[in-house]
Structure 1
């Protein structure tokens, strides 16, 4: 699956066709079943190691090995929670709506006019390169959870949609 899940173009309430309808989601490659298997293996290894230390007389080590298991578990739970974040991009010829939804389901929306919008990403794309939308002196970073190659792909898709939006807004009198 790619970083940009595009859907078939449809129309928004105003009747304008959507030039871009994309959903950006973080990659979570470990399935819930894989998580159970991984945690079972971590628990088994810690139990065997802890038993060996206990039998050798180093019983305080058992508590630290249990603490390691708990920390690994909570780290994965936080990772899965953050995996519920997503961003949507919906562009018509007159508007780009960016919606960021956090793991609680709370959404924040930003609107941009495609005629004035700039898409910026470093070239070449590096690990810490931000994908930024800029307009009227304000900027918004999108796709921060994506891999660098995926951010470059999103930048290309948004730039292509911007060109289509600008072409759709040119009237025959301006030509």
Structure 2
């Protein structure tokens, strides 16, 4: 009885697991420093225009700062998106979590699935798709070219090992 359970656990254990997240070059500490400097510069310029009597102009610096803050807020909100990909001997599980928190799950049989990579010579990988059972989904759409190459190589290799019965 225990041997059968061990076999089930072995089949369900992930052979490949990846969590894909959009790259953001500026972390939380960098955001604070950036906005402190930008805020200080805006306040300094606002003070100069206020002292010179051009107080209506100083409002534009406040609006510029709010627009800048809004753009960074939207960018950080999009950074919350992620994809979790697990490949076991019995399934390919892809969970996509949108920036809004909405989650979509896809499950494929690894033996009936194909991992398709679209390339352009001058650019590199332009799209990666898992297709099987009449369904398909794109993966890693937000990754940089180098990250796409690494992921495609690793996932394709793991899928090939599973199909061979490694």
Where does residue 83 of structure 1 map in the other structure?
79
Does the residue aligned with 1:129 lie in a helix, a strand or coil? strand
| Superposition pairs of residues 21-100 of structure 1, within 5 angstroms | 21-100=17-96
Relative distance call for 1:44 and 1:114 in structure 2 (3 A) is same
Aligned residues of 1:143 and 1:151 also touching (Cα < 8 A): yes
Alignment TM-score, normalising by the size of structure 2: 0.82
Q: How many positions carry a matched residue from both structures?
A: 157
RMSD (Å), alpha carbons: 2.3
Q: Stretches of 4+ moved more than 3 A in 1?
A: 103-106
- TM-score normalized with structure 1 length: 0.78
Distance 2:54 2:124 in 1: 43
Q: Which residue is equivalent to 1:8?
A: none
Q: Which runs of 5+ in 1 are unaligned?
A: 1-12, 170-175
Aligned to 2:4: none
- Write 1 or 2 for the structure with the bigger share of helix: 2
| Among candidates 161, 166, 171, match of residue 163 of structure 2 | 166
Alpha-carbon distance between aligned partners in 1 of 2:165 and 2:19, rounded to the nearest angstrom = 23
Structure 2 stretches of 5 or more lacking a match? 1-6
> Deviation at 1:14?
4.0
The yes-or-no answer on 1:118 pairing with 2:115 is: yes
Contact 1:120 1:134 in 2 (8 A): no
